[in-house]
């Protein structure tokens, strides 16, 4: 993966976070209830193994999530791909109800991310 592709991946994850975060901010009755110890552990491993980054940890919430600060998650979107791409509707139904335009944008972006992630995977396995 060249530096252009690496930078592009970071930007695409930010765009994905910009698309998915409002879904939680505008609809969730209990924000961050999906954040838990297991998801944060996955983030810790991805950050360390794929990017060599050690993340600062915070006091855990009631479900054991340890990357939440006062304003929500403290981790950059590209270091927590499973969280960045997650929304409740995408996970449960595979689309956003009543908003095909949003759904199309989501999968278009996801496809671009997955293409670059495949290049990164191939590099790591070499
Ligand atoms: S993914 Fe679901 S549970 Fe988690 S913050 Fe968003 S709307 Fe709430
Ligand atoms: S969004 Fe942040 S705090 Fe929540 S599970 Fe993912 S890494 Fe942990």
Supply the pTM of this predicted model.
Answer: 0.93
Ligand nearest to the CA of 73: 2
Tokens of 42: 């996955």
pLDDT tens-digit profile of 15-70? 999 999 998 877 787 777 889 999 999 999 999 999 999 999 999 999 999 999 98
Q: What is the pLDDT of residue 93?
A: 95
Cα 53 to ligand 2 centroid, rounded to whole Å: 15
Cβ atoms of 96 and 89 within 8 Å: the answer is yes
What is the dihedral sign for C-alpha 72, 74, 76, 80?
negative
Distance 1 CA to ligand 2 centre (A): 26
Q: What is the mean pLDDT of residues 75-104?
A: 96
**Residue closest to 90 by CA, chosen among 44, 43, 27, 14:** 27
What was the pLDDT predicted at 124? 79
**pLDDT value for 118:** 95
Q: What share of the chain is helix, strand, coil (3-state, %, to 5)?
A: 60, 5, 35
Partnered with residue 68 across adjacent β-strands are: 73
Nearest ligand atom owner, CA of 24: 1
Model confidence band, residue 126 (pLDDT cutoffs 50, 70, 90): low
Q: Using an 8 Å Cβ cutoff, are 86 and 94 in contact?
A: no
CA distances from 38 to 52, 60, 66, 68 (A): 20, 12, 10, 14
Please write the tens of the pLDDT for every residue from 91-116.
Answer: 999 999 999 999 999 999 999 999 99
Residues with CB under 6 A from ligand 1: 24, 27-28, 31-34, 86-88
The reply to whether ligand 2 has any atom less than 6 angstroms from the CB of 43 is yes
pLDDT at 26: 74
> pLDDT at position 101, please?
98
Residue 29 vs residue 81, higher pLDDT: 81
Q: Which is the closest atom of ligand 1 to the Cα of 35?
A: 4
**pLDDT value, residue 123:** 85
pLDDT attached to residue 71: 87
Q: Where are the domains of the chain?
A: 12-125
| DSSP run (H or E) holding 39 | helix 37-51
Torsion of CA 47, 3, 124, 35, to 10 degrees: 20
- Does 68 sit in the ligand 2 pocket, CB within 6 Å? yes
């Amino acid at each position: 993966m060249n530096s252009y592709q690496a930078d592009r991946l970071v930007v695409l994850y930010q765009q994905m976070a910009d698309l998915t975060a409002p879904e939680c901010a505008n609809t969730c009755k209990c924000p961050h209830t999906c954040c838990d110890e297991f998801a944060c552990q996955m983030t810790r491993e991805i950050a360390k193994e794929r990017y060599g980054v050690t993340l600062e940890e915070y006091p855990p919430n009631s479900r054991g999530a340890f990357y939440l600060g006062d304003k929500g998650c403290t981790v950059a979107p590209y270091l927590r791909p499973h969280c960045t791409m997650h929304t409740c509707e995408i996970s449960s139904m595979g689309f956003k109800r009543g908003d095909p335009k949003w759904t199309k944008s989501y999968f278009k972006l996801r496809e671009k991310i997955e293409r670059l992630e495949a290049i990164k995977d191939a590099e790591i396995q070499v």
